[in-house]
Structure formats: C-alpha cells, structure tokens
Structure 1
Amino acid sequence: MLKNKTAFITGASRGIGKAIALAMAKNGANIAFTYVSNQTAAVETCEEIRGLGVDAEAFLCDVTDFSQAGETVKAIVARFGKVDILVNNAGITKDGLILTMKEQDFDQVINTNLKGAFHIIKHMSGPFMKQRKGSIINISSVSGLMGNPGQANYSAAKAGLIGLTKTVAKEFAPRGVTCNAIAPGFIETDMTAKLSEKAKVAALEAIPLKRMGSPEDIANVAVFLASDQANYITGEIIKVDGGLYV
C-alpha cells in the first residue's frame, strides 16, 4: 500500500511509533524516524526495519526545539529525497491533579505533544506544498476528546492537536495534502504499564470490548490513512479505543 513512499515518524524507537514504523515498512515505505534519548532502541528499531527490505534511518531530535526540528527535516529530505507521509507521534506524560501539578510539568507536555507537532508540520509545509501531495497523521488521544482526571496537561495537548489537525487540513487541502488524527484509547505500551492494577481494572471495565488495544491496532489505521485509499479523507479524528468514548 505504501510502496515507493517515504514516511517520517517522530518518536518511533518504541511503543506506538515503532509499531507504525514497522507496519509502514511492511507495506513498502522507507522510514525516517526521530528519537530523543534511547539511541540503543533507535539502532535496534532501524535494523529491524531494514530487515523488512526497505531503507531506514534514525535521527536524534528534540521536537520541542524549533531550530533542531527544522534541521532534522532538512536532513531527512536530503537523505531520502522526499517525504510522503508525516506521523507526529512524539509524546510524553507528566500526570498529576491540577491541585498539585507543577507549572513545568504542564509546559513540558504541551511543548512536546502539541508544540512539537507544530514545529515539524511548520518545517514540512514547504516540501509538502512544493510536491503538492502528502499525508499528515497526528497521534492524539481520547483524553483530548473526553478529558481525564490527573491529565490536564496531556488532555489539553491532545485536544489542541485535534484543533491543529483540522486547521492544517483546511490550509493544506488546496495543495493536495491531507491531515488526520488518530485518537487511541488505552493501548498496551510502556505508558499504560505504569498504571496501578486498580487503574487497569477500572479501565477495562469502562471499555466495551473489555480489553486494551495493541500498538498494532493504531498502526493499521495509520497505514490506511497514509495510503492512496484514504486520499479523499482529511480533517478526521479516528478513535481507536474499543468503544471507550462512544
């Protein structure tokens, strides 16, 4: 579905980002991805992707740094010649109730999860506009749709990402570039692994399908949105949450 395309994925050394990178590679896409700290995981992911018969390279990049994001985009375009697919996946959590949340914890989550996506989209806008084709996929969350106690910063960032998605969709549409978002529910990742058993039980009770999702559930939707089969879909927020927020 993605043969001869190049996908650029932020934060893809592990978790959902890695699953998306592998799924797109299996569908024929060359993969460029960023990581911010775990070089060992990035190298391992790169080797795994190359083992699927496509090209791949990892780039160290802190998406909260506007200039660094720009240099990384330039390096990726120079290395691969083009970018057809952009997936803004990089994200962090700094959970806590508003009563006790530190200002820096709020700012760090907003800067990474929301402003970081803006930085990458801003720097990719030139290449996308020039080639008059492209697919942008932002990884939001059902927390951005329904809110979640203890995640004011995360929910605000993911809600902002939805607004950014719709605006980018409208601005870029005349140039043939689509922009959609995926809103995962409870997915089995390192983030959800930190939840207490009580929290996990409560989550499962709230999910109509009575199970957590897998990173591959998100990756499958990302592959579809990145393919030509979805080239008339833009500005959409697709929930992948087992019915958590109906």
Structure 2
Amino acid sequence: MNRVILTGGSSGIGKAINLFLLEKGYEVLFTYFNSGESAKEIESQYNNAKAYQIDFKSSSEIDRFSAEIEDFSPDILINNYYNGSFIDTYFHKTETEKFLNDFKNNIIPTLQITQECIAIFRKKKFGRIINILSSSLNSPAMGTSVYNSNKAYLQQMSKSWAIENVKFGITCNSISPSFIPTDFHKNMDERMKENILSRYPLKENLESKDISNVIDLCINGGKHFNGNHIFLDASYY
C-alpha cells in the first residue's frame, strides 16, 4: 500500500503533500501542467517520485494518463488538482459558460481518474481515496461561487464513493483545510488575507504539516475510518 497517484503535486498544498509522502517512502506518480521546473526538481531529489505532465482539458491526454495509472497500479489516490482561481467575481456577474467550463475542466477529469483507480482498488481489495477540498465550503468568501460549487460537488460525490466501495476495502475521506497562502491565492487582495487571519482563532496560518498529518490518518486510519469530511479550521466555522 505504498503507491500514490497525486493530482496537482508540484506546487502549493499539493507539493507539500507530495514531499511528505516521498519522505515517508511512498512511490508517488504526481501530475503537473505549468510547474515544470518544480516537478523536475522534485523528481531529481527523490527516486520514488515520478512527474507526469498533463492538460486535463484534453480528453486524449486523460486517456493516456489512464493507461499510465493502470501500469502504475496505485493503492492511494489523492485528488488535489484544480484549474482556475479561488476568487473570480460575484455570482450574478458570472457567465454560464464559466460554470460549465470549470466543471468540465476540474470535475470531469477527477471523476474519470477516480473511476480508473477504483477499478484497480476493487481488484486489490484495498484502496484509499482522499479529496482535498476547502473550508471555504462552510464560509464562502465573496466571488468564490465557481470554486466552491466545484468543491461541493466533490464533497457530495465522496459520500457515494465511501459507501459504495467500503466492502471492497476502499475508504474515501475528504479534507477541507482553512486558508493557507500559496501561489493559488497570489491574486488575492492582501487586505482580505489579513482579515481572514485576524478572525482566525489561532491567529496564524495553517501549515503544510497540519494537512500532512491528516493525510497520514486517511491512509493509515483503517477500514472503519471512512466517509469523513475533516475541517482543519481550529473550529472557526
């Protein structure tokens, strides 16, 4: 149970998770798109890391990646990839195409990859699915309706994956971390970041190790640790 598929593993939270798993000795096949330099650096530092460049907007590239997944035969899937922005614009100003395109670019690839992994897990009678969501699901910032709707869809889907597959030794859990500054939030107004931190009970940003500890629990928590949605928010929301 040491082979991991990690989507979006070369930057931000995904990179932190990636490095944690690699240090623990897991074999990690991780995806990237734009962060090629970071991906190659990780690959050069760890013999147990394999970077895979993919544009999830391309159906042919997803098909090729599915074949790669089958060859890799993973034990664990961590869905972290998201292509888009955290804050966009108000709901009433959002074009319908924006909702549709983000769903096609984020949710559909995630569903396809998860289906591929579940087929492998069922044959093995073992598997772990972990979805990285967001505490913004509980307290949405203005302008995040597209992002939150995508994460909410995966939250609900996680419940189906958990109940449908547990008898095959497969668990599915989700993690919703509170705000953690990464490149994903680079366009976010600094005053908004300061406001979030000022209202947070611990008055300090979440650290990557906090997420990694829960990742470890989701992997090694046993077959009864299933169907959980864990908020890492110091009971703020």
Could you state the TM-score of these two structures normalised by the residue count of structure 2? 0.91
Is 1:87 aligned to residue 110 of structure 2? no
Q: How many residues align?
A: 235
SS state of the match for residue 150, structure 1?
A: coil
The one-letter amino acid paired with 2:204 is R
Conservation of the 8 A alpha-carbon contact between 1:87 and 1:138? yes
Measure, in 1, the Cα distance between the counterparts of 2:177 and 2:100.
22
User: One-letter code of the match for 1:12?
Assistant: G
Residue type of the partner of 2:82?
G
The structural deviation recorded for 1:144 is 2.3
Structure-2 residue corresponding to 1:157:
150
Distance of 2:59 and 2:167 partners within structure 1: 26
Secondary structure (helix, strand or coil) at the match of 2:30 reads: strand
Aligned to 2:4: 7
State the alpha-carbon separation in 1 of the partners of residues 18 and 174 from structure 2.
16
The answer to which of 162-171 and 62-71 deviates more is: 62-71
Contact persistence 1:212–1:242 (CA under 8 A): no
Q: Is 1:22 paired with 2:19?
A: yes
Q: Distance in 2 between matches of 1:243 and 1:113?
A: 28
Partner Cα distance (1:60, 1:205) in 2: 38
Change (3 A) 1:39 1:29: same
2:128 partner SS: strand
What is residue 139 of structure 1 aligned with on the other side?
A: 132
Cα distance change on mapping 1:38 and 1:170 into 2, 3 Å: same
Answer yes or no: is the 8 Å Cα contact 1:90–1:112 preserved in 2. no
Deviations 1:60-103 (Å, cap 9, x if unpaired)?
2233445533421321332x3x2011000001333111132233
Q: Distance in 2 between matches of 1:38 and 1:104?
A: 27
The structure-2 alpha-carbon separation of the partners of 1:69 and 1:223, relative to structure 1 and needing over 3 Å to count, comes to farther
Give how far 1:12 is off.
Answer: 0.5
**Structure 1 pair 101–146 and aligned structure 2 pair: CA distance change class (3 A):** same
Does the 8 Å contact 2:8/2:82 carry over to 1? yes
2:115 is matched with: 122
Give the partner amino acid of 1:221: V
Aligned to 1:233: 225
Counterparts of 1:58 and 1:98 in 2: how far apart (Å)?
A: 36
Match of 2:41 among 37, 44, 61: 44
The verdict on how the C-alpha distance between 1:47 and 1:108 changes in structure 2, with shifts beyond 3 A counting, is: farther
Q: Which runs of 5+ in 1 are unaligned?
A: none
Which residue does the alignment assign to 2:213? 220
* Structure-2 residue corresponding to 1:97: 90
Check the 8 A contact 2:107/2:150 in 1, yes or no. Answer: yes
Listed one character per residue, the Cα deviations across residues 95-143 of structure 1 (whole Å, up to 9, x for unaligned) are: 1111322334323332344323212111212111111101000111112
Between the aligned residues of both structures, percent identity stands at 31
What TM-score, normalized by structure 1, do the two folds share? 0.88
The Cα RMSD (Å) is 1.9
Q: Which range is displaced more, 34-43 or 18-27?
A: 34-43
Q: Report the CA distance between 1:185 and its aligned residue.
A: 1.2
How far did 1:186 drift? 0.3
Structure-2 residue corresponding to 1:205? 198
CA distance in structure 2 between the partners assigned to 1:242 and 1:113 by the alignment? 28
C-alpha separation in 2, matches of 1:126 and 1:190: 34
**Structure 2 unmatched ranges of 5 or more:** none
